[in-house]
Structure 1
Amino acid sequence: MYTEINEKLELARQGIARLHKIYSMISQLEAELGPLEQKEHELKKALEKENLDVEKLKNRSISSVLFSILGSLDKHIQKENAEALAAKLKYDQALRDVEDIEHKISNLYAERSKYVNCQSEYDSFFEQKKELLMRDNAETAQKIMELTEEIGSSKIKVKETREAIIAGNNVLSSLNSVLCSLDSAAGWGTWDMLGGGLISDLAKHSNIDNAKYEIENTQRLIMEFKTELADVKISSDIGIHIDGFSKFADFFFDGIFADWNMQTKINRSWESVLTVKIQVESVISKLKDMLANDENRINSLETEINSLITRA
């Protein structure tokens, strides 16, 4: 009897939830955009002061650039060039982050128009169903409506939590790829700048280049994870951990260029990746607990509704 109107209510409810999420995501992204634009501006100014011709480095891999930098016997020049390159890599990442956020915001504003009428549609369908129920048993109908509303809200929470968990698992997968690349790179051992053989290995193998590629991918996935969490009602301590993710790529690039011992570089970067992985795992664990609680609540509410219908 109520199948058709229930389906319409559910579609409208999902549209309302999506609209709310769009607003939350836009708010989250716009809050991140300002500091990122400032960071991009500061890094660009810093690069302009460097003597290193960073434009020539655009299409070259990290390993080949390191090889060329270390070709100089002047350790002071090596250090300056490496610091400039690290700044260039961070600038490139900041620029990509800004462009990615601007693109996401534009898409969300475009999507918003699809859901602006969902609230009025929902209100109309709700009143129609309420009138139908009241004709049969007003008291039972009111209780069923209240329980149905709570189930609908819980289902939206379940959907959003699942989406956040998927986004978090994508981050973990990318982080594991970074760790694999760094583990492979760690096999080189201590890098002797003038040793010849190991320098040739660095130029030939692409472990660090693979790690850099995955770092860029991970940074994008982390931003998506943060955006998914924007509309998930979670405890405040999760938000504290997430705040540090925006500096993730910086930690990695600083680690690669902070010390001339290759093993130290790799270890520092590996530790920064592992730290973020542990944080993401902690957030996902809490999300899974929330998901289980909400699913149990839905089952309990549905059982209560079935009982009311049976007794009516």
Structure 2
Amino acid sequence: MHENDESLLDTTPYKKKGVINMRQDIQMRQNSLQEKRVNQRRLRKRLEQTSEKLLTMKQKRDQLHRQLTKEQQDVVKLGKFSFANKISEWTGRWDEKMKKEIEEAAEVELKYNEAEKNVLDLTAEVEDLRNELEKPDFMHIAEDWEDFLKEKESWIRLNDSVANQTLQKISDDRVRVYSMLREIGEAFEAGEKAERALAGAMKKLDSAEGISMWDTFLGGGIFVSALKYSEINSSDDHVHQAQRALRLYETELMDVQDAATDSFQVNKNDIFTFTDVFFDNIFSDWMVHTRITYGKKKLHAVMQDVRRIQDRLARKRAALEEEIRRLDQQQDDIIMS
């Protein structure tokens, strides 16, 4: 071959291969940076929301502490000797008064203990979120993203094409879908935990309802009240676990809502009222048999809401996984063409 014929060799395939490799490298870097930015925004929003919940819960705990102190003083006052108390004892009214004061104090004590546990939980959550945001991945993400955009702009100006624009759209769509998949996966896992915790709370409600039947047959009194208080106290951890599980589920569903597109919208009324619909008055409800039955109905409704949203999450996750497969095939077709 004549030495000048070397200039006639078609080097286009080699140039095309180099462009494709460079494009793939840019896409991988962009996906990585975008994922970090999405995670950083999600963590920051969750930190803000959790901090607000912590402040509210501290205020509630302090208010309950003041109320508990007053109720305890009422019990002590009734137990001290006085002619009025002695007369009440002779006429049979002292037992009734003491029962009422003990039940009121017990109800407030349970609410205070639950609030204190929630404060500890939320404090730990805030600390974990702050530590997560201080990890190296998030320290310089803003600067890294700005530098990447400048570099990418220069590359696009030199290699702009219809195929490149299509690949860029596929890459952006893939990041969006994966982000949504991650949020749905976390929400679904939280929903499973909430279902287990709610089932445990329902089991304890059944037990408390059985104890309350004794109240109906025996006519009440301090002894039966003590039995009910003992059962409620032993159920406290189960109730707390259910409340905490629902709070986490609520948070994860909020993340899904933030990442949702028009094709998947979560009704906020289905999410944000979970803890209000049952747990707000659970302890006072447990003191009366008829209210226990009503409370079980409300709890059952919450469990049905959780299952319904879990089904929607599962269907959306399957659709997103199919979307990922479609995007992968579309990208392969372009690269191999």
* 1:173 maps to which of 191, 196, 200: 196
* Structure-to-structure mapping, 1:223-302, within 5 angstroms: 223-233=247-257, 234=260, 238-247=267-276, 248-257=278-287, 259=288, 263-264=289-290, 266-302=292-328
For residues 185 and 154 of structure 1, the distance between their equivalents in structure 2, rounded to whole angstroms, comes to 46
1:40–1:91 CA contact under 8 A, matched in 2: yes
Cα distance change on mapping 1:305 and 1:232 into 2, 3 Å: same
Deviations 1:30-83 (A, max 9, x none): 33233323322322222222136899xxxxxxxxxxxxxxxx972343233212
Determine helix, strand or coil for the equivalent of 1:190. helix
Identify which of 217, 221, 226 aligns with 2:245: 221
Residues 27, 5 of structure 1: alpha-carbon distance in 2 compared, 3 angstrom cutoff:
same
Partner of 2:178: 155
Distance in 1 separating the partners of 2:119 and 2:75: 20
CA distance in 1, matches of 2:175, 2:157: 20
**Residue equivalent to 1:140:** 163
> Structure 2 counterpart of 1:158, which letter?
L
Aligned partner of 1:21 among 42, 46, 50: 42
Q: Distance in 2 between matches of 1:90 and 1:187?
A: 22
Alpha-carbon offset, residue 5 of structure 1:
5.6
Q: List per-residue Cα deviations over 1:97-128 (Å, max 9, x = no partner).
A: 12321221122122112213234435555666
Q: Distance in 2 between matches of 1:136 and 1:165?
A: 42
TM-score for the superposition, normalised by structure 2:
0.71
Q: Decide whether aligned partners of structure 1 residues 271 and 54 sit closer, same or farther in structure 2, where only a CA change above 3 A counts.
A: farther
Count of residues paired in the alignment: 287
Q: Quick check: 150-159 or 45-54, which moved more?
A: 45-54
Given that 2:211 and 2:227 are in contact with CA atoms closer than 8 Å, whether structure 1 keeps it comes out as no
1:91-130 alignment runs, 5 A limit: 91-114=112-135, 115-122=138-145, 124=147
Flag the 1:209–1:94 CA change in 2: closer, same or farther, 3 A: closer
Q: Which residue number corresponds to residue 31 of structure 1? A: 52
- Please, which runs of 5 or more residues in structure 1 have no aligned partner? 56-71
Matched with 1:60 is none
Provide the residue aligned with 2:8 in structure 1.
none
Deviates more, 1:79-88 or 1:235-244: 235-244
**What are structure 2's unaligned runs of at least 5 residues?**
1-20, 77-92
CA contact (8 A) 1:185 1:208 kept: yes
CA separation of 1:222/1:54 partners in 2, compared to 1, >3 Å: closer, same or farther?
farther
Percent sequence identity over aligned pairs: 23
Does the CA-based 8 Å contact 1:182-1:207 persist in structure 2?
Answer: no
- Distance in 2 (alpha carbons) for counterparts of 1:13 and 1:302: 18
- 1:23 partner letter: R
Distance 2:330 2:150 in 1: 22
Structure 1 length-normalised TM: 0.76
Rg (Cα) greater in structure: 2
AA matched with 2:181: V
User: Partner residue of 2:15?
Assistant: none
Match of 2:106 among 74, 81, 85: 85
CA 207–289 in structure 1, closer or farther in 2 if over 3 Å, else same: farther
Name the structure, 1 or 2, with higher relative contact order (CA <8 Å, separation 6+). Answer: 1
Q: 1:241 to 1:29 in 2, by over 3 A?
A: same
SS of equivalent to 1:278 = helix
Q: Which residue of 1 aligns with 2:85?
A: none
Does the 8 Å CA contact 2:26/2:152 hold for their aligned counterparts?
yes
Contact persistence 1:170–1:221 (CA under 8 A): yes
**Counterpart for residue 17 of structure 2:** none
Is residue 178–residue 210 contact of structure 1 (8 Å, CA) maintained in 2?
A: no
Point out the more displaced range, 111-120 or 158-167. 111-120
